[in-house]
Structure formats: structure tokens, C-alpha cells
Structure 1
């Protein structure tokens, strides 16, 4: 199994934070003792769908890194972006699409989704996102709840141009478990969707949710200071666990007793697993960053983060991203002090900001959420161009997921995750016309055979009747 995974992950393994090390794959290394277990025992079996060389011409291109090409062209070949520029000669045998009046962008990347874990239909039998049985559940992995037949995946692809998404556990717990990054393709198994080489995420939460869930059960934490106390005690245990395993891997001898929960925390402390922290208030985000310094880990991104605008300088100094909504706030006290210019201020101050959904409907219109932020920025006198704003949907979330070296922008050699929009992508009237993942055409609004539905929907009234 691991030998097969090594082939799949070739070219991407360097970005996986060492999860597929030589000793893990071969069981032996001349430089270190054999590991008794693989830190990623459930590797991707993702295989890109076959595509064909495709040239799109006469389009407005947002490259995902802030660049714009008017009346430009893009060539996809062998699953990659082969060439991009004002004019490209069509290779022999390539499909050529005249995109006059249309736009091309990188595929949308959503860093905060629960598709597959809270799938449609939304019934109790499908509620698999929160292991709300203890404040620390670092041992659970979101991927083990992902249902690939969730209709939300195909709707995010067809309606929102979403090509990559991170599936996280819910926010009932201080430490909710591992998150997984998926390519938005059709597969029978979660492993068949798993983004090759992407590092794991780790879901944490601060504030009202954990103190309400567990304080309501008469146990710690019931306060914000309780939240921090439980977190710190857990990180102290993880640091000792890491010390024992590092010593064993360096010196050999009797291996320590394995702890599935602490395995994940050891990965965080080693920098192999990226922290994604549900947090609303500025003061709590600052406390969490202090705690991260105490124990030697890094917060990759705060999610929701409605008060990030208050501490843009601190976030920039800590190289911590903020994944935010445009205007979803006021539904509880910690989400009260929000402004629609939040993301624009982060951009203006040079901090890392991006849009996210946390919602099966919102993921279908993240481009429109960014349009709201642009309107708020203009009203406030903050100058942000549309092509600059597309970074919040592409390269910035790719950075937060640790995959910006292979996707998130239309640069030669990167994955051909591409959307052709039928108009200005920041208009409410615009929809994806075609969506490619790894250069394979996965959705075509003009082709009934490429307007996919999930396996679950096939056979339902009105579905599955495509000739």
C-alpha cells in the first residue's frame, strides 16, 4: 500500500512535511531507526482523470496571484498549466475554446468545509462532523467520516467552481481532530479524492463553543480561562510524548507506548500538521498565538476571525492567515463586533486573508462573497483590484493548506485546476461554464453528460435520466 502511495505522491511528497519519509516507506534507513508506524497510514490513492490538451483563447484571465491578462490565452496539457499569455499557438490535436467575453481563473479553494461529514440530506444519521464527547479529541480524523456521495461536492463544483477543499471536524471541541484536503472529483472512496501530498490540518476551537458544550455538562472547560488551561495541559503532555519518541528514533531501544491522540499533536509540534483554529475575538486570537509560542507550534490560520481587523499587525508578524466571511456575523456574542471591511483591511495591512464558507450553500458562491468585500472596500476608500481580490479564493487558501507550490494559481507547471466563467466572475449573474481538475473537464454547462450528480442522487425523481 505504501509503495503504491509513493508513486502517487511523487513530486508532491516534499510538501507533505515528511509524512512519507524514507524510513516510513522502506522500513529501514541508514540515518535513523525504522519507524514502528507510518505517520500517514492512510495515504492518497488519488488518480487524476484523463484529460486532453485544451487551449482557451480571447479571455480575461485572473492568474490567482494578483495578475491579469486581457484578451489572453491558456493552454492545459498533461494535467498541468502548460502556457499562459496574450497569445498561444494551438498544438496539434488540442481542443480550442473561443472564450470571447468570458473569464478564466484558477479553481476556487475553500479551506473550511464540512461536506461529506455533514452531507445532504441533513439528517441525524449523517451528522458525523463533531465527536462531542470530550474537549480533546485529537485522535479523530475528519477523513474517516467523509461520504464521497454527498451531493454537496458536485454542487460546489458546478455552481461555485470549487476544485479543492479542506474538510474539518466541527468546533464543539478545543482540539477536534485532523482535517483532510480533497480534490473535488468523483470517487468511490475518500482516498480517491485525497489531495496527493497535502499536509494534514488540525482543527482547534476557542471561545463560546467548547465552554458551552462541556460547561453545560458540568465539567471543564466552562470558561475561556478553562479553555486555555485544558489546551496547555494537553500540549504539555504532547511535548513530553514527542520528546520520548524523538529520543527513541534517534537512539533506538524500547519504543514508547503509542497514543493515537498524541500522535497527531506530535505531528503539529513537528510542523508536519497545520493548525486551523476556529476563533472570533481578537483578544483570544492573541492569546492562542502566545500559547503557540509557549509550546513551539504555529497557527497557520484562524477561521471565522471576525475581529482580525483589530490585530492585522500581530497576524502579519506571526505569518498567520485569517479565513473569514464577507458579512456573516452577529449570531452570537463573540461574532458581534464585525465589519464588512475585515478582509479588505487585512489585505491593506499586508496580512494574509482569504474567504471561506463553513456552509454547504455558501461554498457555491464564494466568488459573490468576495464581490461583497470589494464593494465594502470601495465604500471605505480601500483600493483593491478584482484580480488582486481573486488571491483570496486561490493562492491565499492554497498557502493556508500548504499546497501553494502545486496549485492556487495559473502558472506553468502547476495543476490545471481551471474555471471558465460565462461572464465577470464577481457578478451575481455569472456561473461556471466549464471546470477542469488536473486538466480533465469535470463540468460543462453545455453538455448534459457533464452536468454531474452524485451517486446518491442517481435514481431519485428527476435525476439519472441523462441519455
Structure 2
């Protein structure tokens, strides 16, 4: 009964409160381009609406603000779904606020995973649920990850409850050189993926290099079967995209092409590139290729050899989304070191700890702690607050949503986690999680634990009322 009541409340709550979707200024683009772009931009829009929220103040708490600062005996005040103030022990709390004493506890921004496949490879992991890789061609920029997302994946609520994850990017798989568009979601219970889509978030595009594409298509006696084949096919695809982009901005619009539409938006800077890549030499080649065609790589994902070119990545302002210690599961993952994240941090590069896994997304805080510990063991001075940045502000920056979430700053979304201990402790668990100021998880209140219809299971004959 508790679960049914919760689902009823969730469905009702989804109909209240409002959110804004960012618009696009196309005033300098030709009429044909406006028509072409409008078709894509109006398709499958976000219908996300924040759940009802209260005026909440958490006092006497240690705050990691997500941008590298730590505040002792701090106070954070949320109202209207936004962060209103973050201050020290002398902060003034409004008289109408519900006050939570955070003594001995910690507050962080909501955890953000820049690389997830929840919904596309949902639990249970059976063939019928495998919807993340369109392995019919090495070039599939026309597919959109959101069209495979199953909102009832139990992984969403587990990431919320166990990991404090409030936002995440769902990516297509890495079988293809061009895998398709990503979807950035708010981690809220919803009936449709559109109701989870982060309002105003730019699309990302998944690309891949290295072993995966050449293994998948080489085994089929198709191109690419080598790394040089991968680069030649990728470059030719960008040449085709440049031609489409030029025609789209001309007087006569081309016939709509979903694949070229996505790539032209990348070249225009409207879609962010997230590139699956492991080896340092390939990272550098991808950077060279991006300069050839005039686009920017936002983040390299997995990037186990990023430490070898940390200075280049810092100079190019490219984020590295890495694991703490996964290695050796294929040749291009062999030369990984657990100090990868710390060395990137030391070089001044953007560091992100990501999951790529339905279990690891539930403990990104512990993964960040491992990477931090390995860095300190080699003598690098990295603070707890900087490590928290790896799983909050930095992924938000790579996803193009850092102006709205990822850190505890006035005016930003009130995506907040109250931890029962230092989040970099193996004993830490989320006690409460707010998304846009709405309390969506409370470890002490069973009615605040979202459960999907799928997890309720099928009632037995004796259970039907």
C-alpha cells in the first residue's frame, strides 16, 4: 500500500509546479535553416515539471559547494526549487523555513553522472532490454538515446537512493564511430522520458574510437576493421556533414537528413561531443581531427591514458571522464593507472569520475574517494572539496548544465544531498535527496523511496483485492 500511495503521489506531483525550457535565438540564420532546425528542436521537447517543494534550511552542516569550497558549520537555505543562500554559522534562517539540524552530517550538490546507460540497458539485463547500440552501421548519428530510454528502469531509483544521483546523461553505446544523440535527464520518477528531460540542456553526441568499432565491424568484414579505417570513415563523414551544413545555411534548403542534421548541429556548436576513447595517441589524433573540421570535443570518456597527455587536455580545455581503477579488460585499457584522475587534476585539467555501469552509478562518491586516495598516496595535495567537484560541477560543465546545477550557488536548482557522513567515506549514505527543492528520497521515510511499477512485480492470485 505504501508503494501504491507513493506512485499515486508521484503521478499527481508531476502535474504541478512549472519549469522553463530554454529557447534558441535563430535571428541570424537563414529562413531555410530556421525551418530545418525548428523541426529538430521542436521534436520530443522536455515536459519536465518540478515536484512541489518547501522552504528548507539545513544548519550546522559541513558543506562541499561543488566548486572546490568547504564550509564548516554551514547553513544552506532552499525555497521555490532554488538555492537561496549558502553561508557559515552566522547565516540568517527565515522564520518560515523547516529547519533540519545537520550536526555531524555533510551536504553536497546532487551527484551527476556524465556517462550512463540506464534506461537503454535497464534491469533486468536481458536481450529484450538491450537498446543502447544500433549495430547496423558504424555511422548512426541519426539515432537518439532517449528513444530507447525506459523510465521504469529500477536503476534510476537505486542511483537516487544509494548514490544521491540527481542528473545523468544517457548515451548510446560505443559500437559505432558515431553512436547518436545523448539525453540529459533529471533523475525523477516519471511516466515518459520527456518528463525526465533536463530543461534547456543541450544534446550531446556519442562518438567512439579504438577497439570497439573495429571489433564489431571488422568481424563482419566491413569498414572499419582497423584504426586507420576508423579515422578515414570518420573524416569522410565530417566532410559530408560540412557540405550539408553549407547547404542548410543557403537559400535552398536540402532534404531533411536526420544523420546530417545532428552532425551539422555539432559543427554549429549546438551539440556537445562526448568521445569514447582510451589510448593517449588516439586522444591526440581525435583532437587534431576536431580542429580539421572545426568542432570541439567536450569530453573524452574512459580515457585511461589521459594522464600521458594531461597538459594537452588542460590546454585544450577538454574534460576527461574516467574510472578510479578499472583496467585490463581489453588491450586499450591495459596501461591504466589508479593515479590517472589525480595527475589530471595536478595538471589543471577537468576531471570527472563516471560510471558506465548500473552498479557503479550507485557509488560514484566512493569511486571519487578511491581516486583521491591514490593521488594522495603519491604525494599530490588534493582536497576533499576538489574531489567532490569530480562528481558534481565538472560533469555538469561537460553536459552544458553548470549554469543550472552542479554546485550550491544562489539561483541554481536546489539539487542537494544530505549525507550521514563525509561522502568520501565508505560508510557514507544519502540520508535525504532533493531535486529542484523537492524531497524525493528520505532514508527515514519509506514513503519517500521512489519505486517503479516494474519493481512492484506481478500480484499473485491471493494478492488481488
Fold match (TM-score > 0.5): yes
1:26 corresponds in structure 2 to none
Alpha-carbon separation, structure 2, partners of 1:460 and 1:308: 47
- In 1, are the aligned partners of 2:30 and 2:249 still within 8 Å (CA)? no
Aligned-residue CA RMSD (Å): 1.7
Candidates 49, 52, 55, aligned match of 2:54: 52
Candidates 46, 70, 73, aligned match of 1:71: 73
Alpha-carbon separation, structure 1, partners of 2:77 and 2:368: 27
Distance 1:9 1:295, change over 3 A: farther
2:109 corresponds in structure 1 to 106
Kindly provide the CA deviation profile for residues 224-259 of structure 1, in whole angstroms up to 9, marking residues without a partner as x.
0000000000000000000000113xxxxx321111
Alpha-carbon separation, structure 1, partners of 2:169 and 2:248: 29
For 1:243-262, list aligned pairs within 5 A: 243-248=246-251, 254-262=252-260
**1:180 is the counterpart of 2:183:** yes
Alpha-carbon separation, structure 2, partners of 1:137 and 1:456: 31
SS at match of 1:247: coil
1:355 corresponds in structure 2 to 353
Candidates 94, 108, 111, aligned match of 2:97: 94
Distance 1:280 1:30, change over 3 A: closer
Task: For residue 21 of structure 1, report the CA deviation from its aligned partner.
Answer: 3.0
Q: Is there any run of 5+ residues in structure 1 with no aligned partner, and where?
A: 1-6, 14-19, 24-28, 249-253
Alpha-carbon separation, structure 2, partners of 1:165 and 1:30: 32
For 1:284-363, list aligned pairs within 5 A: 284-363=282-361
Task: For residue 148 of structure 1, report the CA deviation from its aligned partner.
Answer: 0.4
2:266 corresponds in structure 1 to 268
Kindly provide the CA deviation profile for residues 179-209 of structure 1, in whole angstroms up to 9, marking residues without a partner as x.
0100000110000000000000000000000
Alpha-carbon separation, structure 1, partners of 2:458 and 2:338: 40
Candidates 273, 277, 280, aligned match of 1:279: 277
Count of residue pairs the alignment pairs up: 440
TM-score (norm 1): 0.92
Distance 1:31 1:270, change over 3 A: closer
Task: For residue 284 of structure 1, report the CA deviation from its aligned partner.
Answer: 0.3
Distance 1:236 1:95, change over 3 A: same
Alpha-carbon separation, structure 2, partners of 1:306 and 1:372: 15
- In 2, are the aligned partners of 1:9 and 1:197 still within 8 Å (CA)? no
**1:207 is the counterpart of 2:210:** yes
Distance 1:177 1:31, change over 3 A: closer
- In 2, are the aligned partners of 1:181 and 1:194 still within 8 Å (CA)? yes
SS at match of 2:454: coil
Distance 1:232 1:9, change over 3 A: farther
Task: For residue 8 of structure 1, report the CA deviation from its aligned partner.
Answer: 6.8
- In 1, are the aligned partners of 2:214 and 2:227 still within 8 Å (CA)? yes
Task: For residue 32 of structure 1, report the CA deviation from its aligned partner.
Answer: 4.2
Alpha-carbon separation, structure 2, partners of 1:151 and 1:81: 29
1:251 corresponds in structure 2 to none
Distance 1:32 1:75, change over 3 A: same
- In 2, are the aligned partners of 1:8 and 1:45 still within 8 Å (CA)? no
Kindly provide the CA deviation profile for residues 47-102 of structure 1, in whole angstroms up to 9, marking residues without a partner as x.
01110000000100000000010011100000100011013333233211001100
Alpha-carbon separation, structure 2, partners of 1:260 and 1:452: 36
Alpha-carbon separation, structure 1, partners of 2:321 and 2:386: 16
Alpha-carbon separation, structure 2, partners of 1:190 and 1:149: 10
Task: For residue 424 of structure 1, report the CA deviation from its aligned partner.
Answer: 1.1
TM-score (norm 2): 0.92
- In 2, are the aligned partners of 1:8 and 1:196 still within 8 Å (CA)? no
2:383 corresponds in structure 1 to 385
Alpha-carbon separation, structure 1, partners of 2:209 and 2:170: 19
- In 2, are the aligned partners of 1:75 and 1:88 still within 8 Å (CA)? no
Task: For residue 461 of structure 1, report the CA deviation from its aligned partner.
Answer: 7.7
